[in-house]
Amino acid sequence: MKLGDVQERGEVASERGASLVDSAYAALKHAIRESVFPPGYQASAGELALRLGMSRTPVHEASLRLQEEGLVRILPKRGILICALAPHDIAEIYEVLIAIEAGAAARAAALPEAERTALADELDQATAAMGQALAVGDLPGWGRADEAFHRLLVERCGNGRFARIIQTVNDQSHRARMLTLRLRPRLLVSEAEHRDTSEAIRLGLPDAAHEAARRHRIRARDELLPLIESVGLRHM
């Protein structure tokens, strides 16, 4: 066998391995975000791999990446633990969301008219999807549409670093969102607040957009934290 053939086979094997790890990472993250593997759940890499229909090694490699993101903890000789969120974790996450999303909304409102109009249209579509999901009692669908609104706001504001920074808490925020949906009494208020933000962006009003996004996240935080405490949730 020629050296070139050996190198080519090695590169193919390396790419295949990277692809398997990426697939395991995506599958494991999705299972954590949607609480298929709930907070506090602990299992070996082999057990997780079996449940995901994958092999053990990619799952172990994927768990190393997820540990860096704060979603799991690898416990030597004891397996992989899905990290739980305490109320003070949720409070810290909201501090990050409030700061970055308010800044993102202000930046988005300062974009050229065509860009901010297109973004506002997409934000309104996500908000409309929330209303449609709520009308048929599809709370998970409402949660996914809500996430889409907030993701669009940050990703399309023109500051790529905002998106990279907020990603470290987005998955944790989404999990808290999905776990508390049935507890929250005023989901319709979020839709109205989303429309306030998108309208300020559409009109090119950075200060108004900043305040609308900030007010929305503060209201959600101030509603959610006492609610968590009232029902005795210590970890999520």
**Three-state secondary structure call for residue 159:** coil
pTM over 0.85: no
Residue 38: its pLDDT value, please? 82
pLDDT digits (tens, 9 = 90+) for 164-223: 888 878 877 777 777 777 777 678 899 999 999 999 999 999 999 999 999 999 998 898
Is residue 27 within 8 A of residue 54, CB to CB? The reply is yes
Residue 1: its pLDDT value, please? 53
- Alpha-carbon span 154 to 84, nearest angstrom: 25
Show the low-confidence residues of the chain (pLDDT under 50). 3, 6-15
Q: Domain locations in the chain? A: 3-82, 87-230
**Three-state secondary structure call for residue 59:** helix
Q: For the chain, give me the number of helices (H) and strands (E)?
A: 9, 3
CATH 1.10.760.10 fits 3-82, yes or no: no
Is residue 101 within 8 A of residue 170, CB to CB? The reply is no
What one-character DSSP code corresponds to residue 82? Answer: E
Degrees (nearest 5) of the Cα angle 82, 83, 87? 145
Architecture of domain 87-230 in this structure: Up-down Bundle (1.20)
Kindly report the length of the chain.
Answer: 236
- Alpha-carbon span 166 to 187, nearest angstrom: 23
Residue 34: its pLDDT value, please? 78
Contacts of 49 (CB under 8 A, 6+ apart): 24, 55, 56, 58, 59
The tokens for 204 are: 């090119």
